[in-house]
């Protein structure tokens, strides 16, 4: 016999999904509340909680890890509203091919698929513009540290352009957590420049986070969820 999951311990996804559907269908409000409450750490609604989270998204269900589409489908059908924006973001991280999956349990309804693709594009545009603004509009200075990629002036201009391009590519580059996760500048820039760039980028990511509900057509703000 399957044991009921311990408080604050989320079972593997198939069991979790079955329990949530039963709790919703038969109005077992206490059970549903427990299941939904335990999701909040992995599907945060506040930027600070996202930054400090140890486990995010579908990783919270352990092994075997469910397809992000399956999780998003569950939250949509069972109306777990607060988790929809971040679940949509997680589903979008793999790009178009995984989103279009036709495997059983992973096929997204047409509207959900359309909204997720729209949100994916919106987030990418916002963070692409943010990276461009940080690197080019703010006019990064010439760093005196010879080990820093920004230790290059405007003559010849090609060297300066190449240096800025490298920084921009890192800020907007692919990474496991997507564009909302912190970039790794490595040894590209010195400690002082890295600190300044990371702080600027974190502010932009925080602003983008606030737009997730709108980007994925779930609500006008997090407060509505």
Whole-number Cα distances in Å, 138 to 26, 153, 161, 164: 56, 15, 14, 11
Q: Where are the domains of the chain?
A: 13-108, 124-212
Whole-number Cα distances in Å, 18 to 4, 15, 27, 32, 201: 12, 5, 14, 11, 40
Angle between the N-to-C axes of helices 110-132 and 84-92, in degrees from 0 to 180, rounded to the nearest 10: 80
Model confidence pLDDT, tens digit, residues 41-76: 999 999 999 999 999 999 999 999 999 999 999 999
Tell me what pLDDT residue 156 has.
Answer: 79
Average pLDDT, the chain: 93
In this prediction the pTM is 0.92
């Amino acid at each position: 016999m399957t044991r009921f999951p311990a408080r604050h311990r989320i079972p593997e996804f198939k069991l979790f999904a079955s329990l949530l559907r039963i709790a919703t269908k038969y109005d077992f409000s206490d059970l549903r509340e427990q299941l939904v409450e335990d999701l909040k750490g992995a599907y945060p609604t506040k930027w600070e909680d996202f930054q400090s989270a140890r486990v995010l998204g579908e990783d919270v269900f352990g092994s075997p890890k469910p397809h992000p589409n399956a999780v998003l489908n569950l939250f949509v059908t069972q109306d777990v509203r607060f988790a929809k924006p971040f679940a949509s973001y997680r589903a979008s991280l793999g790009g178009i091919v995984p989103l279009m999956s036709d495997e059983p349990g992973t096929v997204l309804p047409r509207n959900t698929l359309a909204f997720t693709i729209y949100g994916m594009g919106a987030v990418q545009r916002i963070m692409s513009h943010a990276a461009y603004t940080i690197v080019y509009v703010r006019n990064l200075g010439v760093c005196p540290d010879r080990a820093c990629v920004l230790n290059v002036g405007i003559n010849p201009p090609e060297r300066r352009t190449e240096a800025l391009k490298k920084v921009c590519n890192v800020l907007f580059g692919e990474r496991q957590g997507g564009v909302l996760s912190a970039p790794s500048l490595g040894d590209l820039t010195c400690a002082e420049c890295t600190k300044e760039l990371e702080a600027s980028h974190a502010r932009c990511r925080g602003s983008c986070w606030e737009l997730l509900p709108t980007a994925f057509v779930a609500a006008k703000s997090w407060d509505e969820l």
